[in-house]
Amino acid sequence: MRVDQATPSTQLLRRMNAQAVLRFAVGHSVFNASNVIEATGLTRSTVIGLCDYLIELGWIHQPEDARADPEYSKGRPARRFALRSDAGFVIGVDAGEHSITAAVANLRGEVLGRVRRSYGDQRFDSAVRLSVTCDAIDTVLADCAVPIEKVLASVFGIPSPTDSDGHSPVGQDGYWASMNPGLSDAFVTYGRVVVENDANLAAIAEQSVGIGQGTRSFAALLSGERFGAGLIMDGVLIRGQHGGAGEMRVLDLVDGVGSATGLAALARDWAQESKLTDAGGAASPMAELPRVDVTAESVLTAARNGDETSLAIVDRLGDRLARVCFVLASLLDVERVILVGAIAVAAGPIIDRARTVLAENFYAPIPEIAASELGADAVVLGAIQRGLALVQADPLGLVLVGLPLTATESVNL
């Protein structure tokens, strides 16, 4: 390798070519120069030189057994290359109303660890939310032995619309603003920062690794504390002018719904109300539970065991879900509504009721309703997928601290 005085145009071309090779590496497992040539149109000498350069920077490496290449027959095997999964990391965060989950993944999308924290009774306090979020992220980084310098991107999912800069409008009673206490500004040292609506990230997760794969148009419906929908239309995530596509404020005006309160919150509230009346009856398990233990999970468990009070609540939840799904189908013509979030795991009876209500009371076309298989991790996994997409789109733009391309631009490749 020798040093020369590369012109600015040569430096730019080298950077563009290196970007193309690295983008290919991020999207593939093991590859050889021929694979890259076919994908990029670059010459063999250029590809080999760039691969050596990316090895020097720590982005890719050469697997030991080159004879494992399916294209190998005999003689000297072609050089094989692979992305170093530990060349960088992404952070995915689900910053919900009541708690936060932070996870770290390598460049292959493998989740290395996660940490969950509660905001407690101060969940609307901006300083508390920022402090708890920072603690969760730093803890999971320490648990996974990942230095902050190797974090390429951090993606936060919040129950609020966001603009292109990651800021949220005030919203009704200041709720949206309280859910986003300046996250995009507070975590600028954690790689490229993206603050996105949580339902949008859930939709990305379903499209990438969930049951939304192969479905052109669907809604990922978060239904814990509040209803919110991430919308994939013709394969593309829809955000809207202010990032508010999929916000369910319209439900305030829908007969039989009346608010955007989610299924988990309604199950809890209706069960707690039943404890204050004679409707539940002394025989109901809900009557015996301490009020603090009355949750959506306890209601669904009691319903599975045949408790009449809980079964009645499940029917009410199914009725409401059917109307929400019909609104989405009427406005957007989605073919599927995927119920996402922690409640989806046990929501089978609610979905069954909603399907019946749709079939008996609404006109075609009606959407398919399905339960996500991602459980409570949908938003976190969507955040990780969003972070990985950032890396794949612009890997050298997220180059690791201490390894800037400009430091070696003058090297003749």
DSSP secondary structure letters along 69-99: STT--SSSPPPEEEE-TTS-EEEEEEE-SSE
Q: How many CB atoms lie within 10 A of CB 351?
A: 20
Cα separation of 96 and 130, whole Å? 12
Radius of gyration of the chain (CA): 25
Per-residue confidence (pLDDT) for residue 397, from 0 to 100: 80
Phi, psi of 114 (to 5 degrees): -145, 150
Cα separation of 166 and 168, whole Å? 7
Per-residue confidence (pLDDT) for residue 410, from 0 to 100: 30
What three-state secondary structure class fits 195?
A: strand
CB 28 within 8 A of CB 16: no
Low-confidence ranges of the chain (pLDDT < 50): 1-4, 280, 400-413
8 is written with which tokens?
Answer: 């600015």
CB 91 within 8 A of CB 191: yes
Phi, psi of 80 (to 5 degrees): -115, 150
For CA atoms 257, 262, 267, 273, the dihedral sign is negative
CB 343 within 8 A of CB 334: no
pLDDT tens-digit readout, 220-244: 999 999 999 999 999 999 999 889 9
